[in-house]
A and B are shown apart, each in its own frame.
Chain A
Amino acid sequence: AQSVTQLGSHVSVSEGALVLLRCNYSSSVPPYLFWYVQYPNQGLQLLLKYTSAATLVKGINGFEAEFKKSETSFHLTKPSAHMSDAAEYFCAVSTQGAQKLVFGQGTRLTINP
């Protein structure tokens, strides 16, 4: 069975600072990994995904994530935070042949002016 742990339910950074949202996964088979963003009162939007190609994945809005098998991690980063990045971020895991996404508990990102 797969599982995801997101370290930190709330992260607060200043505008222009580095954003780092942590995600660790557990999977007995090679995982597929996703980051989704949820803005207030909206659905989930895909930021980026890893499906066993390049370990450094670039997504939308300047976000990227690196798959590290040895650390079972898939942390999300953005070099410079913008006020519009304030949202809830979800890491999710799936596997080849699986039908469902297993989500972490989410991290609420706050950007301070």
Chain B
Amino acid sequence: DSGVTQTPKHLITATGQRVTLRCSPRSGDLSVYWYQQSLDQGLQFLIQYYNGEERAKGNILERFSAQQFPDLHSELNLSSLELGDSALYFCASSPRPVTDTQYFGPGTRLTVL
């Protein structure tokens, strides 16, 4: 158990819908990262927040957005969902904003029908 929690574990929804994935980092970690794991793209970095501020952006679609709240939990919002958005979404956390070991949550499996 890494100490990073993600909810829900599974999510099934329809195309065009909007969903919110939630992540609670390890106690004391200020940095949160979001990754997408799909069969065709592999594991890809989406976005990072550090202490409430966006720190780095990767291959995140405009339909996706994220935020980190004052209690340091983070939410990833996915809208206008397409079949290709079906994937495992991982959250990771680390104490500092750069080059630290990232501890991964169990992931949320999103299925878009």
A42 close to B106 (CB less than 8 A):
yes
Q: Which of A32, A96, A99 has the most CB of B within 10 A?
A: A99
Residue of A nearest to B43 (CB): A103
CA separation between A32 and B99, bound complex, in Å? 8
Q: Which of B33, B43, B48, B104 has the most CB of A within 10 A?
A: B43
> Contacts of B33 on A, CB cut-off 8 Å?
99-101
> Contacts of A90 on B, CB cut-off 8 Å?
43
B42 close to A100 (CB less than 8 A):
no
Question: Which of A10-18, A43-51, A68-76 is the contact stretch?
Answer: A43-51
A102 close to B90 (CB less than 8 A):
no
B104 close to A44 (CB less than 8 A):
yes
CA separation between A1 and B101, bound complex, in Å? 20
B101 close to A49 (CB less than 8 A):
yes
A99 close to B97 (CB less than 8 A):
yes
* A95: interface (CB < 8 Å): yes
Q: A43-B90, A43-B104, A106-B42 are in contact. Are A100 and B58 (CB under 8 A)?
A: yes
A100 close to B101 (CB less than 8 A):
no
Residues of B that sit less than 8 Å from A by CB: 2, 4, 33, 35, 42-45, 48, 55-56, 58, 90, 92, 97-99, 101-107
Query: Which 5 pairs between the two chains have the least Cβ-Cβ distance?
Result: A99-B56, A100-B45, A103-B43, A44-B104, A43-B104
